[in-house]
Structure 1
Amino acid sequence: MDAEFFLSAAKNVAILSIFFLVGQWWLLRFRSRQISKRHVDARLKSSIADAQVEEKDVKLVGSRFERLQLKAGLELEKSSLFLMMLSVIAAALLIGFLFGVLAAIFVPVVAIIFAAAYWSFRYQRRRRAVFEGLPDVIDDVVRGVDAGRSLEQALVDSFNDAAPVFSPLSFRLRSAVEAGRDYTDLMDDFARLYSVPPLVFVAVALRTSSRFGSSVRPVLKKVSQALRSQQEMRREFIAATAEIRFTAVAFAVLPVGIGVGLVSMNESFRHVLLDTDTGNKLLGVSIGFVVVGVLIISRMVQGVGRG
């Protein structure tokens, strides 16, 4: 690579950066106009229409994008997501100009895999937090009822003192109780959001108690005991399978590390592998085999200790 090549690459990077800055400025302007327009439309709406919309809304969040964010505890705006996509496209164009089309296609694939893995990691962590914190919440509700408070007030106080993962449910639950609306649908939606069947049992028990006047304390105690037993069994299972899961991760990572090490240390082998058609085919086949092996190993240990 001579000086002219690097000069041309620098010019292309400068042009991409200018387009990126102009696009960001336009997006911020468009975003501010949309926010102003929404504020004006919200003020023009009557209080009766707002009350009707609020009465029909029985979910924690409405759109699919907001539900995906709530599952993982993210707070990304659509403008931020659009800027991330522009960054990935710009990086793909730059790498494609420097190293070819195959490398450019590799950039968005890696970005999508990384984003999916990060979302799954945050979702599973929040789901475990729900399972670990729900028994304490149920016990607080039982203690509140025993202390003479109403069931609704005990629920609101218990979720207010719970882990931050329950904050969306706590906010909507408090609003529903203060407005005198049915709040069990919110608990059902939260249970569907994080796949928590015990919370559905709690919602059914609360719904039955409010309609037929039955006691909800025995059901809450049974659910709390079952959740604690389940979490104890999960911890024991995690401890018993730790060595097996570590071996699976080692088998998934070692082939990739060995291949990268061999390619980086052997210049002639790297030249044949990257600069010839046969080497490119062998590299593609080997990457495919490695991906298949990693997927098989991940499926073997998938779900261990979850839920």
Structure 2
Amino acid sequence: MMEQLAPAGVFLLALTAVFGAMWLWTRARSRERQEDMLMRLRAGEDVALAGGSGEEEHIANPLLRWACHLVWRTGADTEPAMVMRWMIAFALLVPVALVLMGWLAGLVMIGIVLVMTWAVLSRQAAKRRARIIEQLPDFLDNVMRVLSAGNSLEEALIVSSQEASEPLRGLFVSVGRQIRLGASVENVLADMAEIHRIRDLRVMSMAASINRKYGGSLREIFRSLIQAIRSRDMAARELRALTAETRFSAVVLAVIPVGLMLYILASNPGYYSDMWADTGGRWMLIGSAAFQVAGVFVIWRMLASVQDGDA
């Protein structure tokens, strides 16, 4: 048993070391950029960082764009080139896993790593998005006060971002940086809304676009948006409280089959290999995997329906 599990341990150790090294390198780069940005802001410079944020770049590759958006939603200031290196490193570890663990166990392990990575990043992004939405009403209040003093929307966003708290501050500092580079505020807000999946930023983008074309009072729109955010947050809290038991049951139902499969695979690695060698057993495994994936997807959609409206 220990000899059969040894390749899995070697693969996991190598994978952990690779991702750990990349994570430390990314944190160091992110800290350097933050310190550089703060020094520029203190000096009163209006010029953006030469490289820019990864969120400002247009990526043609749809897979790389999806991966970059997933990483950026967690608040990491990671360049697309670095995300591409992560993907290449993982792709190079795939044949290693298949050779060390066998193709069946290797595919299972690769799938588990991918799902766990996606789940961790999505969870961190959801927490960050919830904090941003929680801070947004106070931020809009500050923007309204700056607008009342006769400033433009661009100036109001830049000034208010300096007084905001993280993670909202980092998001709108990036918005202000792109505005100073010449981008229109509605386009920047629309891009941020798409990347971070925050519907309220899309509303702000539409309000800025309408105000630019036809005029009108931005303060009234922002006041209505603040009331809508607070009402939606109160309704979401009540809904989560009413459905807590149901959501817990759904998570248990989704986790039990996967846990049972991993237990069988660890205790008897040849069990699934023997089933796969038989035609009937192969179709049973394929059907079970398909039903499990479909069930987890349905449960995930059910859980997402009781989260905030921007998920």
1:190 paired to 2:201: no
1:111 paired to 2:106: no
Q: Describe how 1:161-200 pairs up with structure 2 within 5 A.
A: 161-166=163-168, 167-173=170-176, 176=179, 182-200=184-202
Instruction: Tell me how far 1:305 sits from its aligned partner.
Output: 1.3
Question: Residue 60 of structure 1 contacts residue 172 of structure 1 at CA under 8 Å; is this kept in 2?
Answer: no
- In structure 2, the partner of 1:62 is 57
Q: Describe how 1:43-192 pairs up with structure 2 within 5 A.
A: 61-64=56-59, 65=65, 66-77=68-79, 78-79=81-82, 81-82=84-85, 85-87=88-90, 89-90=92-93, 92-146=94-148, 148=149, 150-152=151-153, 153-166=155-168, 167-173=170-176, 176=179, 182-192=184-194
Residues 255-274 of structure 1: CA distance to partner in whole angstroms, max 9, x if unpaired? Answer: 33345446656x6xx65554
Task: Calculate the TM-score normalised by the size of structure 1.
Answer: 0.65
- Long gaps (5+) in structure 2: 22-46, 60-64
Residues 35-82 of structure 1: CA distance to partner in whole angstroms, max 9, x if unpaired? Answer: xxxxxxxxxxxxxxxx9xx9xx9x951233454543332344535642
CA gap of 1:119–1:63, structure 2 versus 1, over 3 A, is: farther
CA gap of 1:120–1:93, structure 2 versus 1, over 3 A, is: same
- Long gaps (5+) in structure 1: 25-50
Distance across 2 between alignment mates of 1:204 and 1:262: 54
Instruction: Tell me how far 1:247 sits from its aligned partner.
Output: 0.6
Match of 2:305, SS? coil
Residues 255-301 of structure 1: CA distance to partner in whole angstroms, max 9, x if unpaired? Answer: 33345446656x6xx65554463496355554444333333332333
Distance across 1 between alignment mates of 2:236 and 2:152: 31
CA gap of 1:230–1:105, structure 2 versus 1, over 3 A, is: same
What amino acid does structure 1 have at the position aligned with 2:144? V
Counterpart among 256, 259, 275 of residue 257 in structure 1: 259
Task: Calculate the TM-score normalised by the size of structure 2.
Answer: 0.64
Instruction: Tell me how far 1:240 sits from its aligned partner.
Output: 1.1
Match of 1:218, SS? helix
What amino acid does structure 2 have at the position aligned with 1:111? V
Distance across 1 between alignment mates of 2:97 and 2:187: 49
What amino acid does structure 1 have at the position aligned with 2:130? R
Counterpart among 237, 240, 265 of residue 239 in structure 2: 237
Greater radius of gyration (CA): 1
How many residue pairs get matched?
256
